[in-house]
Amino acid sequence: MSNRRKPMSDINVVPYIDVMLVLLIIFMVTAPMLTQGVKVDLPEVTSDPVHTNDNVDPLVVSIDSNGAYYLEVGADTSKPMPLEDVKGKVAKILAQTPATPVLVRGDKHVEYGSIVSLMAALQDAGAKSVGLVTENP
């Protein structure tokens, strides 16, 4: 009468659940920190999303509440620049990759004329269409 035990073939999933919950908490804490660019108070409008090519990152131009323009390309996005510099850099980027979508993030307190001037400059730089970024209400 030998008292042999059968090998146990169950998987202990408790450690996996613990790791998953820790990762979930980490991602929940870091996700709000991943927003890039200039702090802009976007207008809240119900609209359909713009469908873009997933292989090409959009070119985002921001206008803050003071009317300063920011081109969000590369690492240095926090430096305001004049409209002519934005137009020149956008023209260079669109000359290399003409399929790049162009988006405008305008603060809801900025003057309408500043947005229109920017959109006209972007079209002069070669943007076929310009999208406006908004928040869902």
Mean pLDDT by 10 residues, the chain (137 residues): 72 88 91 65 66 73 88 74 90 88 86 87 87 77
Q: pTM of the entire structure?
A: 0.61
Q: Distance between CA atoms of 4 and 2, rounded to whole angstroms? A: 6
Q: What is the pLDDT of residue 23?
A: 94
Q: What is the pLDDT of residue 98?
A: 84
Domain boundaries, the chain: 59-132
Q: What is the pLDDT of residue 113?
A: 86
Cβ burial of 115 (10 Å; 0-12, 13-18, 19+) is: middle
CATH for 59-132 is: 3.30.420.270
Is 42:135 a contact under the CB 8 Å cutoff? Answer: yes
Q: Identify the DSSP state of 44.
A: B
Phi, psi of 48 (to 5 degrees): -80, 145
